[in-house]
Structure 1
Amino acid sequence: MAEEPEIETGAVDAQDSQPSTPGARLRAAREARGLSIQDVATRTRIAQRQLEAIEKDDYTALPGIPYAVGFARAYARAVDMDEVAIAAEVRDAVHNSELGANRYEVFEPADPARVPSRALAWTAAAIAIVVIAGFALWRSQLLTPPTTEEIAQQKDAAPTAQQRPANAAPVSPANQPVVFTANDDVWLRIYDEAGERLKDGLMKKGESFTLPANARNPMILTGRPQALDVTVGGKPVPPLGAADRTIADVPVGAEALLSRATPAGQAVSPSAAAPAQRPAAALPSGDGSAAAASRPAAPPAEGAPAN
């Protein structure tokens, strides 16, 4: 009668004593290295309660499948185990659990402890969208030429020659160079009385343009007058218009700009005023003395019809 082979009970007991689940194997590796659960939490930056859930193979206590796999991978790395093998075992186990039946795995972070929160990611995305939209809007307003409606409104608001103050002092013609310098990016058009465009397009910040000396009654059209620094003979003149208000058909010849720059009532040189002087008409009776009647008449206002 054949003898039955003896079974080494010690080998069987050793196999039965080996941890069979990923969580139990991780716990055994931690205890073998004399580490506490808090030590592993410090190394991995994972909450202690979540590490305890990994050790108990309680995957429903974790946020989701990606976190369960990622936490187990980080745990294995902290206790010098094969993180790839542990991650594969946890993935298989979690798919067969209640968590795997109710949730869908979208991604698997390499280290969930370092992944930014969803709220932070959405906040950063919203800020980026607002910044980009604001810059695009500002840029479009900066570089868009003024509309026909804006030009018409500016023409209606521009004072005519008859509306100018009667005491505005005339100035002599000037042949000094007129220079336009952009202190910011600005679109403009400079043209003469025949409609010929002397300058048309975008002037970059710091760019300058000198008006041709032979320009005939040059005028300007722009939506941002404050972005231009204008000089006549090297001397600055007041802004061509209100900030961010479209101006059109505004004369920019040297004489016209100097006329705008001369304060009302300022005295002019005798050579400039002499051609305009002539005897004054007799005043109505009872309105003054004889000395007033002999006083020379004041120079006519610019653009006013002569008697």
Structure 2
Amino acid sequence: MDSENNSIDETEGDLMETASAGAGDRLRTARETRRMELSHIAAETRIPVRHLEAIEAGSYDTLPSRTYAIGFARSYARSVGLDEKSIADAVRGELAEGGMHPSVMAGGMEPGDADKLPSRGLAWFGAFAALLLAIGVIAFASTYFGAGVELPSLMADSEEADGAGTDQTEALASADETAAPNALSADGQVVLTMTGDEAWVRFYEDGGERLFEGVMQDGDTFEVPLGAEDPRMNTGRPNLFDVTINGQAVPPLATEMVPVSDAPVSALALLARGSEETAN
């Protein structure tokens, strides 16, 4: 009887100690309880072993960014049966206490973190819409109110009036053509936003380094680094991703759930693809 009571006390003590431990200790304890090796977790989550070791040790500064720390921890928690939100909150708390360098994915995307919503893409879109509205107001004001400053001659030739209107129309068309390339430039910021429940995705440089690999959930966004060399994407659900360049929507990678591999996601490649589809 005494041995049974001691066993119960030890179990309760372990549970209390685990609950009060850091996110890394809780993940390691859960993994060891399930008798799983880090290599097993790495194969299941597609996260490098060195990153899993850093998470267990609480060494988040060795990870690429804050968003990777939280996203990797969520995937790890899912693999060992822990509550993803609880682990993500614990990691955020530890990051807030210790500090960390800014994320390379500015705008709020945390891989696998549904608590974050896209922001930078909406800001770009809002700024662009405000600019177009301002141009329209100025053009309207100069045309409508400017006409009353000086009364036109009653003898003015109607052809001259028509010519002036044509010049103004051509000027506005030229302004629109000039503004469009600036919004959809070949070196613009590409943002992909997940719009479904969840999907596994891998972003990487062609023949180079992996940019991100994991599960993205509804509302998650990924900003393709501007300096990435020929960035590409693998996923089984490309139709669930909205694509924008400098905040302006462009055609999606696919309209049906057809897996894609080595799909280019640079601004230049996306614009070229859109031009080809328009021509066809």
TM-score between the two structures when normalised by the length of structure 1: 0.36
Q: Which has the larger radius of gyration?
A: 1
TM-score between the two structures when normalised by the length of structure 2: 0.39
Structure richer in helix, relative to its length: 2
Larger RCO of the pair (alpha carbons < 8 Å, separation 6+) = 2
